[in-house]
A and B are shown apart, each in its own frame.
Chain A
Amino acid sequence: MISEIRGSVFRHFLSAAAIGLIVISVFYMVWLRSSIKSLEYRMGVLQHRKAVLVKEQRNLIAARDNLLSIASIDNVAIKKMGFDFPDRNKVFYVKERI
Chain B
Amino acid sequence: MGKRVYFVFILIALGFLAVVGRLFDLMVLNHDKFVKKSANQRIAEVDIQVRRGMIFDRKGRRLVANLERGSVYLDRANFGGNEEKLYQLAKMIDVNNNELSGQLKSNKNFFWIKRKITLEEIAKVENLKIGGIGITPEAKRSYTLGSLASHIIGFVNLDNKGLEGVEAKYDKELTGEGGKYAVQRDARGNRFYSEDDAENFGNSIVLTIDEGLQYIVEKELDEAMKKWRAAAATVVMMNPFTGEILAISNRPTYDPNNPVKTSPASRRNRAVTDVYEPGSTFKIVTASGVLEEKLAREDEKIDCSGGGIEVGGKIIKDAHPHGVLTFMEVIQKSSNVGTIKLAERLGKQRLYKYIKKFGFGDKTGIDLPGEVSGLVKSPERWSGVSIGAMPIGQEVGVTPLQIVTAYSVIANGGYKVHPHVVKGSITEDGTFSEINKPEPGPQIVSKRVVDIVTRALMMVTQEGGTAKYAEVIGNRVAGKTGTAQMYDRSIGRYSSTDFIGSFVGFVPAEKPAFAMVVVVWKPRGEIYGGLVAAPVFKNIAEKALTYLNVPREDMIKKNVLVVDKGGNMAGILN
Interface residues of A (CB under 8 A from B): 40-41, 43-48, 51-52, 55-56, 58-59, 61-62, 65-66, 69-71, 74, 85-89, 91-97
Smallest Cβ-Cβ distance to A48: which chain B residue: B191
Cα-based distance from A86 to B212 in the complex (angstroms): 13
Determine whether the beta carbon of B563 is less than 8 Å from that of A97.
Answer: yes
Among candidates B66, B211, B473, B561, residue contacting A94 with C-beta atoms closer than 8 Å: B561
Contact B564 A97 (CB under 8 A): yes
Which residue in chain B gives the minimum CB-CB distance to A39? B193
Q: Within B432-484, which residues are at the interface with A (CB < 8 Å)?
A: 473-474
B67 touches A62 (CB 8 A): yes
Most chain B C-beta atoms within 10 Å of own C-beta, residue among A61, A69, A94: A69
Partner of A95 from B215, B219, B560 at Cβ < 8 Å: B560
Q: Which of B65, B473, B560 has the most CB of A within 10 A?
A: B65
Pick from B62, B546, B562, B563: contact of A86, CB under 8 Å? B546
Contact call A41/B559, Cβ cutoff below 8 A: no
Does B16 lie at the interface of the complex (its beta carbon under 8 Å from any beta carbon of A)? no
B76 within 8 A of A: no
Q: Given contacts A41-B190, A69-B144, list 13 more A-B pairs with CB under 8 A.
A: A41-B192, A55-B68, A55-B119, A58-B66, A71-B148, A74-B219, A87-B546, A88-B542, A89-B473, A93-B555, A93-B560, A97-B563, A97-B564
Of A45, A51, A58, A89, which contacts B198 at CB under 8 A?
A51
A93 to B192, Cβ gap below 8 A? Answer: no
Q: Describe A's contact surface by its main secondary structure.
A: helix
The secondary-structure label for the interface of chain B is: mixed
With contacts A56-B119, A95-B563 known, is A66 near B67, CB below 8 A?
Answer: no
For B562, what are the chain A residues with a Cβ–Cβ distance below 8 Å? 95-97
Please state if A88 and B546 are interface contacts (CB–CB under 8 Å).
Answer: yes
In the complex, the answer to whether A71 meets B146 with C-beta atoms within 8 Å is yes
Provide the bound-state CA to CA distance between A58 and B140, in Å. 11
Task: With CB as the reference atom, state the residue of chain B lying closest to A56.
Answer: B119
Give chain A residues whose Cβ lies under 8 Å from the Cβ of B184: 40
Closest chain A residue to B66 by CB distance? A58
Contact, CB under 8 Å: B144 / A62: yes
Inside 8 A of B563's CB, which chain A residues have their CB? 94-97
Contact partners of A65 in chain B: CB under 8 A = 62, 65, 144
Q: Chain A: which residue is nearest B211 at the CB level?
A: A70
CA distance A46 to B148 in the complex (A): 39
Inter-chain contact count A-B, CB under 8 Å? 100
* B 533-574 to A, binary, CB cutoff 8 A, 1 in contact else 0: 000000000110110000110010001111111000010010
Asked whether, in the complex, the Cβ of B192 is within 8 Å of the Cβ of A44, the reply is yes
**What are 22 A-B contacts with C-beta separation under 8 Å?**
A40-B184, A41-B190, A44-B194, A46-B193, A47-B194, A55-B137, A59-B67, A59-B68, A62-B66, A65-B65, A70-B212, A71-B146, A71-B215, A88-B473, A88-B474, A88-B542, A88-B546, A91-B546, A91-B559, A93-B559, A93-B561, A97-B565
Q: Which 3 A-B pairs have the closest CB atoms?
A: A62-B65, A43-B193, A55-B68
**Is there a chain A Cβ closer than 8 Å to B200's Cβ?**
no
Which one of B192, B198, B211, B559 has the highest number of Cβ atoms from chain A below 10 Å of its Cβ? B192
Q: B142 at interface (Cβ–Cβ under 8 A)?
A: yes
Q: Please, how many angstroms separate the alpha-carbon atoms of A45 and B189 in the complex?
A: 12
Residues of chain A contacted by B561 (CB below 8 angstroms)? 92-95
Measured in the bound complex, the distance between the Cα atoms of B474 and A53 in whole Å is 52
Question: Which residue in A44, A52, A71, A95 is a CB contact (below 8 Å) of B573?
Answer: A95
| Residues on A with beta carbons closer than 8 Å to the beta carbon of B148 | 69-71
Query: Is A69 a contact partner of B119 (Cβ separation < 8 A)?
Result: no
> Which residue of A58, A71, A96 is within 8 Å of B67 (Cβ)?
A58
Nearest CB of B to A61, in Å: 7
Is the CB–CB distance between A85 and B191 below 8 Å? no
Complexed CA–CA distance, A98 and B517 (Å): 43
What residues of chain B lie closer than 8 Å to A74, measured between beta carbons?
Answer: 215, 219
Q: Is B559's CB under 8 angstroms from A88's CB?
A: no
Asked whether B192 lies within 8 Å of A85 as measured between CB atoms, the reply is: no
Kindly state whether residue B145 has any CB partner on chain A within 8 Å. yes
Per the bound structure, the CA–CA distance linking A40 and B192 in Å amounts to 5
User: Is A69 within 8 A of B145, CB to CB?
Assistant: yes
Residues of B within 8 A of A88 (CB): 473-474, 542, 545-546, 552
A48 to B559, CA, bound (A): 61
Cβ-closest chain B residue relative to A46: B193
A51 CA to B180 CA in the complex, in Å? Answer: 17
Please give, as numbers and ranges, the residues of chain B lying within 8 Å of A89 by CB-CB distance: 473
Contact A85 B546 (CB under 8 A): yes
Q: Which residue of A lies closest to B212 (CB)?
A: A70
Bound-state CA distance A45–B186 (Å) is: 13
A44 contact set on B, CB distance < 8 A:
190-194
Alpha-carbon separation in the docked complex, A95 to B353 (Å) = 50
Known A41-B192, A58-B65; judge A91-B543 contact (CB<8 A): no
Closest chain-B Cβ to A19's Cβ sits at a distance in Å of 15
- Distance of B156 from chain A, by nearest CB (Å): 15
Residues of chain B within 8 A (CB-CB) of A46 are 193
**A62 to B62, alpha carbons, bound, how many Å?**
9
Q: Provide the B135-169 mask, 1 if CB < 8 A to any CB of A, else 0.
A: 00100001011101000000000000000000000
Using Cβ atoms and an 8 Å threshold, which residues of chain A touch B543? 85
How distant is A51 from chain B, measured CB to nearest CB, in Å?
A: 7
Instruction: Find out whether the CB atom of B65 lies under 8 angstroms from the CB atom of A70.
Output: no
CB distance from A22 to the nearest CB of B (A): 15
Q: Is the CB of B62 within 8 A of A92?
A: no
**Which residues of chain A come closer than 8 Å to B542, judged between CB atoms?**
88
Residues of B within 8 A of A87 (CB): 546
- Chain A residue contacts of B474, Cβ below 8 A: 88
Give chain A residues whose Cβ lies under 8 Å from the Cβ of B191.
44, 47-48
Residue numbers in B under 8 Å from A59 (CB-CB): 67-68, 119
Contact of B142 among A41, A62, A86 (CB under 8 A): A62
